[in-house]
Structure 1
Amino acid sequence: MIKNYLKIAWRNIWKTKAFSIINICGLAVGMTACFLIALYVNFERSYDRYHEKADCIYRLVCDVKTPTETINANITSGPMAMYAAKDLPEIENYVRLLPNSLLIRKDNIKYQESAVFFADSSLFQLFDFPLLAGSPETALKEPFSVVLSESAAKKYFGKENPIGKSLLLTDEGFNSKVTGVMKDIPENSQFKGDVFVSMVTLIKMANFKFDEQWGNFGFTSYLLLKPNTDPSLLTAKFPAFLTNRVGKEMDQSKMHYTLFLEPLKDVYLYSKRGGFENGNINNVYVFAIVALFILLIACINFINLSTARAVERAKEVGIRKVVGAYRIQVTRQFISESVLICLLAFIISILLCLVLIPYFNFLAGKEISGGIFLHPVYILVLFLLACLIGLLAGIYPALVLSSFKPVTVLKGKFSSNTKGLLLRKTLVVVQFVVSIALIAGTLIVNRQLAFMRNQNLGFNKEQVLVLQTNGDAKSRILKDAITSVPGVLASAVSRSVPGGGNPVAYSEIENKQGDMQIANLPVYFVDYNYLPLYKIELVAGRMFSPDFGTDTAQAMILNESAVKLFGYAKPADAIGKKYSQWGSEGKIIGVIKDFHFKSLQSKIEPLSMRYGQGNGGGMVSLKIDGQHINTALKSIEKKWQEIIPNRPFEYFFADEFFDRQYRSENRFGNLFFNFAMLAIFISCLGLLGLVSYHTTQRYREIGIRKVLGANISTIVKLLSFDFLKLVIIALLVASPLMWFLMDKWLDDFEYQTTINIWIFILAGSIAIGIALIVIGSQTIRAALTNPVESLRNE
């Protein structure tokens, strides 16, 4: 019996190839989109969950409260985790990570490694980073011990066994020994290191006694709690712990610390403090909802397209019943056909996934999946989903088709069921609500990205080339040598550039009341040419100048936000006021206009600037003539090789560097756009189904109207109006819904675009335009039909 059902089903599919292709493609595209989004959602939620002890690992974070502000930091000072583990019995172990960029050399091989972490020896006791060689307990125990990732080991040593071999660290060439090789860290990890250096190496390299410096932040600390420990009860013990260990120091410095715990599994998606890498749970929710909607649309299409053929197959059903077929047999026949179509769609979906996964990885900017067959469980779920869709989506048309009365349909008097037509129209409205919402969402996302790219940042980043010398002692010599290169219009040395990191300094600034007010200020170390090169506007006082000898050690420039922080109504009022910062004392000599030195997702913070002599300049900014970039680059590289030959030539353009901050938003926008287009495509197939059904039902009416003299345009208008009403209803429903959702999405941005009514008008216009194309293709075809064809059965 089943064999017979499948044979007849296949014949019907083959008989109506065009209809079957549309139906199968709609389902296949829907299942493919759902599968890819499921991969993305699962991948984002899997960050750091593969560690065996993940449930017991927490990130230690700190709020730093001063008389001026409270800083919600994602880092701690060196002693915090170490002494917490000593004093609080609930803590089983801890590890601290300090990211860095190191020059590493082996013979003639030299790399400026950016994925470097100084780490405690307990790293491999907390995290599951399997060692291919070396001991987890001792690999990072001794000074100048280095653990390499598998990729880094191949880069430096090829096929040789690297254990016990030497590498030279930094300019000084500290001789370090490779004590371990680990597997490459998975993509779904917050921190991805290629080189791990023992934490005790810091003491030897830089005489950095971090274990006793409670106010020196920079470490990312993780605690391993003992099983069954309540983290909230442990958090309640932190105030007493800090008071006991560093209470007097906090009172004297007027900087008070509050420690918190964040579950390792929640840091990537849920933490508002940031970290090595961050996701956005709202984006995950958005894509999960989009996946469900796309799948829903695909099912709706199947129902609409199947019932659209009800009239064509009415006589078939009537004949079957006349020759003795029971209703249950007819129902099984049509459900079998439905399931078969879904299984064909499943096969096509697998093939589409094979082709699209590399492109999907590219759009996501990360290796979401290495291939569909690496997810056998997902394939099984997709198969079961196809069967379920076939069953559920086939039930309604099967019941409708099997309920036809043989006498009625064989006389050609089958008429549409009002309730059925209302249901199909409702389903199409749902489809276009989703489509219009996605179109509007795409427009708003792109508008926000364009807003961030085109916003006046308060500085000029165009045609600025930045050489990254990583604090090389000869960076100023290099800068002076390059100044004479043809095509170089201006040059400056600094420790920071907009869009990059910068140190935060404990500072005391004389406020409006004449008191020395404490604040933690980001600080830029720059030279005389930095402000003119980036065209940062001065609003009061003066810039750094070689005409004033004290500027190198006793001068500071603040931005407008810093001036407001210390209570001054006018920038000029801050000129001449005293400051104390990192052992340097002097006076405020100038105030600059606020500029965005961080992403537009955060508000402009108070900022201080000091002359950077002896403070690790490192970055050489060059204003380049746009007509001679390639020639200038070759000459600049030649100067680099002459002056600092031990370092690899590193450079970037300031505009591209700043825009890297928006990579995740750009990827979100690209993915959103692509899935929105898929949803619209599938929705058009659903509309095509309803238009086809509706025009088929009205063939006789059309024939009569044409006989009575109606022209084609009149008939097209008549048939199109009902469907355009559906799109307009969808627009009215989708607009307030998407306005609310996208307003919530924009809350993540400190500086955001406005959501204007024209966005929804444009989204509706696009949807109406698409609908008109689909509707027109069917209605014109119906209007052109010879009335004899539609009336000959009368």
Structure 2
Amino acid sequence: MSDSAPNSPRLASKILYMMLKSDLYEEVSGDLYEQFIFTLENNSTKKAKLNYWYQVLNYVRPFALKKTKSKHSNHTIMLRSYLLIALRNLRKHRFHNSLNILSLAIGFAACLAIYLFIEDEKSFDQHANKDNIYRLCEVQSFPGTKVQNVALSMPGMGPALLADFPEVEQLTRLWGQGKLVWKTNGESYPINNAIFADSTFLSMFDFPLIAGDRLSALDEPYSILMSESTAKTIFGHTDVVGEVLEMSDDHFKITGVLADIPENSHLQFKIVISVTSITNRNKDFNERWGSNFLVTYLQLSPQADLEDMAKRYPEFMTKNSEREDINEYLKIFLQRLEEVHLGSTDIEHDYLNHRKFNGSYLNVFWLVGVFILIIASVNFMNLTIARSGTRLKEIGVRKSIGAYRDQLFWQFITESVLMTFCALLLSICISWVGLGFLNQLIDRQLTLYPVLSNETVIISMLGITMLLGLLTGLYPSLYMAGFRPATILRGTTKTGGKSVFRSTLIITQFSLAIAMIVATLVVLDQLNFMRDKDIGFNTDHVLIVDMDRTANEKYALIKQRLLENSNILGVTASGQRLGSNFHQWGAKVEVDTGLFEFTPSNLRVHFDYLDVYDIDLIEGRNFDESRPSDDGMAFIINEAFAKEIGVDNPVGRRMGHSWYHNDSLGQIIGLTKDFNFNSLHHRVNTLALVVTTEGYFGEMSLKLNGSNIQSSLNHLEQVWQETIPEYPLDYSFLEDHMNDLYKSDQQMSAVISIIAFLSIFIACMGLFGLSALATERRMKEIGVRKVLGANIGNLFLTLSKHFAILIVISFAIAAPLTYLSLTQWLENFAFRTELSLSLFAIAGLAALVIALLTISYHIIKAARINPVESLRYE
């Protein structure tokens, strides 16, 4: 078609007829519509353009009005037309629409992953009676040690509560045993996660029992329940009820088989042993007070008043304890079952709490999910609104040939909703592909099943998607459809390269993105601080080996054999593991005013413990195996201990456990620097180390040569097999145990890091699209500036200045709010890094550089175009 007005009315009529028949876009024969628009957009003057348009309009306007009204009356046809036009528009502007859909899909996928993570954590312990089950916990405030909440209780507490409180309907007590070795037919089977439990265990917790009687399975002494997988490991099948296993010279009868315990249970076990196996021998077990080693659960009546019960606890404690002052150092409280997994961060000695997680982090993840959704949605709205500004001529043509305003309104809405639903479908595909990687990173087993099988979740997702589509399409629908055709076709309409609304949206998404970057840097800084901090002892290449009774009896021989290998640098033993909550024992120490009694943490060790762990001794001497008096009578304390008793020179002072007679106390022989034997979430507690050869050590520690670890492991396996072949060798590295202390923090860091990356990536995708549109609108300006002598650097500064200012404003908004939030988060750590302002500067600078690099492609590309072509742009 030529640049002049059409000579033939028939041709003009055919163009408009085909446009109306297809509602402007559908299957225009011979690309007549494209030629029509090309002529409109490429005439050399606006006057020629207008003349061309008005001549065509005069030929066909009566038919156009009639045709438009006819279509308006048929809603089905109109909806079909809207969808077809939307699809054609998606195809026509592939780059911008693909960018828009992809950025929103990534945001949806991130929110979906966060939702799955949160729901997985909240799915723990969904037992039928969960609303009425509580764990009995204690607040211990012993003199000389920090106040601590513990998950342990005394054997007599549960039965006494059942007798004294009508609200308690039943109880069950658990005692974790770790690994036990079971024997049958001459074969030994070491099984981890064995527990003792009361006979009411299965009536309180509804773990599926696939064989046996729930009500009586744990009634008799020496009866046990076994998981499916354990039965298959030992017997090769699950039909094992009635079989007998031997353990420590006792014979246990299998009375039931449990389905394998699900991952979302805080209680994890493979074998359950009846508590009557203990009470059969120890008749006073149910009346014992004074030693905390059980985990007690109570099932209360639905009408129980917890506050009223709490008021009666002091009287209950005084009545049942032998000590009248028990309420001064020990209080009890109940913890709801649903809070055990997520609400036990401040509870220590919490040994039966699988995959314990800091529930407060879920609120952080919710907030992060909202942030990423806002960033993605704002980005989508910004790109959609900016793109709509390039469709003015289309709107002018359609309004001039009779299109109603509501038709244009619903057209924009349809296109926006269609794009959001495309993004939703793509997000599900991204989630399906990415969940495998995420599960490896955060050690979870997340799947899309909870989403795809939940009608409420599906409806919510569709609702959010529909709402976002409506909100996004609302602004261009109302704003663009309101222009007068003559104004549009004259080219006098301004859609604003620096729209305040669009600028506000950019500031919003980059404020959130910068906040995420800062949070990531601070979290990583804290984790690096904990990893690199000198905790006062050596964890590198230290191997921990489990010990049983036989290993203890042959410890001297095993140690001698192990040290024959030059790659094993040291061997020692201890009752507990560093990085765990050490038990507290009563102690009395000689001070200037007499005997000072308090309750420090205690650790029973072998003579060369300090040497193996490189613990600094700053005063006094080490344990000496050649001095018989060091066995049970020599103590090495830490600085916190010395500070607690208020003595500057503690070495040489008399000391002993609370059960020692005053005239037979031992002596403090050494003082160590404080070392973090617990995680850095907690301050260093008072500690006393004591050597005693009575009783049994729980584990052996080997200090290995890091350059030849495999040789050490081979030698250990050989010595173990030759010395105690009946007890399977089980070892792990101390470093792995120490890393587990910060697992929740590391997982939060991983999630925050991923979201921070996605946040800045989505925001930059938006900037990439916006910069393309901005440079496209300013092509003539670019041409003029180049003709006047501007170089690429000048053009880059001119065109990027607006975006740079928005990033700076975003940083100014995000920085103070993020500072306050992260300051509160760091309060969770007794040892923490300083909140450095340099991290904020790095985050702001990184966001600015990334943003400028993102938009530089289009700016430089436009600046390199020949000025002649730029001036011909319109």
| Shorter-chain TM band | over 0.9
**Normalised TM-score (structure 2):** 0.86
Give SS of 1:639's match: helix
What residue number does 1:216 align with?
291
266-275 or 326-335: bigger deviation: 266-275
What residue number does 2:132 align with?
56
Cα separation, 2, equivalents of 1:209 and 1:537: 44
Match of 1:92 among 162, 169, 184: 169
CA deviations over 1:202-259 (Å, ceiling 9, x no partner): 3457x5953222111011111111121111111111111122222x4344x8964322
What residue number does 1:720 align with?
800
Post-superposition offset of 1:377: 4.1
Cα separation, 2, equivalents of 1:217 and 1:504: 10
Cα separation, 1, equivalents of 2:500 and 2:436: 42
CA contact (8 A) 1:464 1:621 kept: yes
501-510 or 668-677: bigger deviation: 501-510
Post-superposition offset of 1:331: 1.2
What residue number does 2:94 align with?
17
Match of 1:522 among 582, 590, 601: 601
Post-superposition offset of 1:657: 2.4
What residue number does 1:26 align with?
103
Post-superposition offset of 1:410: 1.9
1:96 maps to a residue whose letter is R
What residue number does 2:214 align with?
136
Cα separation, 2, equivalents of 1:698 and 1:370: 46
What residue number does 1:340 align with?
418
What residue number does 1:495 align with?
575
What residue number does 2:304 align with?
229
**1:457 is the counterpart of 2:530:** no
Match of 1:82 among 146, 156, 159: 159
Cα separation, 1, equivalents of 2:870 and 2:487: 18
219-228 or 207-216: bigger deviation: 207-216
Give SS of 1:155's match: helix
Give SS of 2:499's match: helix
1:579 maps to a residue whose letter is G
**1:554 is the counterpart of 2:630:** no
What residue number does 1:398 align with?
477
Post-superposition offset of 1:353: 1.7
Post-superposition offset of 1:90: 1.0
What residue number does 1:101 align with?
178
Give SS of 2:159's match: helix
Cα separation, 1, equivalents of 2:404 and 2:182: 82
Give SS of 1:510's match: strand
CA contact (8 A) 2:183 2:189 kept: no
CA deviations over 1:407-449 (Å, ceiling 9, x no partner): 222223331248x811111111111111111111111111111
What residue number does 2:26 align with?
none
CA spacing shift, 1:370–1:105, aligned 2, 3 Å: farther
What residue number does 2:250 align with?
174
99-108 or 526-535: bigger deviation: 99-108
2:531 maps to a residue whose letter is R
Post-superposition offset of 1:71: 4.0
What residue number does 1:442 align with?
520
CA deviations over 1:698-747 (Å, ceiling 9, x no partner): 23322222232222221111011111111111111111111111111111
Cα separation, 2, equivalents of 1:438 and 1:12: 35
Give SS of 2:585's match: strand
**1:282 is the counterpart of 2:360:** yes
Which of the two has higher C-alpha Rg? Answer: 2
2:155 maps to a residue whose letter is G
Post-superposition offset of 1:466: 2.3
1:313 maps to a residue whose letter is R
CA contact (8 A) 2:238 2:257 kept: no
Cα separation, 2, equivalents of 1:359 and 1:456: 33
Q: Determine what percentage of the aligned residue pairs are the same residue.
A: 35
**1:116 is the counterpart of 2:219:** no
1:606 maps to a residue whose letter is T
**1:680 is the counterpart of 2:756:** no
**1:192 is the counterpart of 2:268:** yes
376-385 or 751-760: bigger deviation: 376-385
Cα separation, 2, equivalents of 1:136 and 1:41: 33
Aligned CA-pair RMSD: 2.2
Match of 1:263 among 330, 336, 345: 336
Post-superposition offset of 1:697: 3.2
Cα separation, 2, equivalents of 1:493 and 1:270: 34
CA contact (8 A) 1:428 1:726 kept: yes
Unpaired segments ≥5 residues, structure 2 = 1-77
CA contact (8 A) 2:586 2:597 kept: no
What residue number does 2:823 align with?
743
What residue number does 2:642 align with?
563
CA deviations over 1:120-163 (Å, ceiling 9, x no partner): 11112222212111222112222222112233223223224021
CA contact (8 A) 1:282 1:745 kept: no
**Normalised TM-score (structure 1):** 0.94
Match of 2:791 among 711, 715, 727: 711
CA contact (8 A) 2:136 2:153 kept: yes
Cα separation, 2, equivalents of 1:555 and 1:713: 76
Match of 1:533 among 612, 629, 645: 612
Match of 1:273 among 347, 361, 365: 347
CA spacing shift, 1:67–1:597, aligned 2, 3 Å: closer
**1:578 is the counterpart of 2:655:** yes
**1:364 is the counterpart of 2:438:** no
Give SS of 1:505's match: coil
2:156 maps to a residue whose letter is P
CA contact (8 A) 2:442 2:747 kept: yes
CA contact (8 A) 1:485 1:636 kept: no
Cα separation, 2, equivalents of 1:294 and 1:589: 58
Cα separation, 2, equivalents of 1:511 and 1:635: 48
Give SS of 1:269's match: coil
CA spacing shift, 1:52–1:477, aligned 2, 3 Å: same
CA contact (8 A) 1:117 1:197 kept: yes
CA spacing shift, 1:709–1:729, aligned 2, 3 Å: same
Unpaired segments ≥5 residues, structure 1 = none
What residue number does 1:202 align with?
278
Cα separation, 2, equivalents of 1:553 and 1:577: 13
Cα separation, 1, equivalents of 2:174 and 2:725: 30
Cα separation, 2, equivalents of 1:721 and 1:109: 77
184-193 or 607-616: bigger deviation: 184-193
Cα separation, 2, equivalents of 1:348 and 1:71: 49
